[in-house]
Amino acid sequence: MRYTVVIPVLDQLHYTQQCVQSLLDHGTPAEAILVIDNGSSDATPEWLATQGAIHSVRNPCVHSRVGIDSAAAPGARCQL
């Protein structure tokens, strides 16, 4: 089975790292891991830039912090 995991995030780098590591350790790997950064102000963007095993997208709607639905929506539109 092929699947892509979409993870919307806002700060909370420690939890983002744990989530990504758990996915990488999973027995049936995802075809892609896509992290949608909803305007993080901690070290999340810098950490994501160093991760070759995952894709990341900065949500263009970050100015309004519109919530998880708008944070996850770019993941549904991405062509990986």
Q: What is the mean pLDDT of residues 28-56?
A: 88
Confidence band, pLDDT 50/70/90 cuts, at residue 77:
low
Range of the structural domain that residue 28 is part of:
4-77
Q: How many domains would you assign to the chain? A: 1
Confidence at residue 53, expressed as pLDDT on a 0 to 100 scale: 78
d(CA 24, CA 30): 8
| Residues near 59 by beta carbon (within 8 Å), at least 6 away in sequence | 8, 36, 37, 38, 39, 70, 71, 74
* DSSP letters for 12-38: -HHHHHHHHHHHHHSSS--SEEEEEE-
pLDDT higher than threshold 70 for residue 55: yes
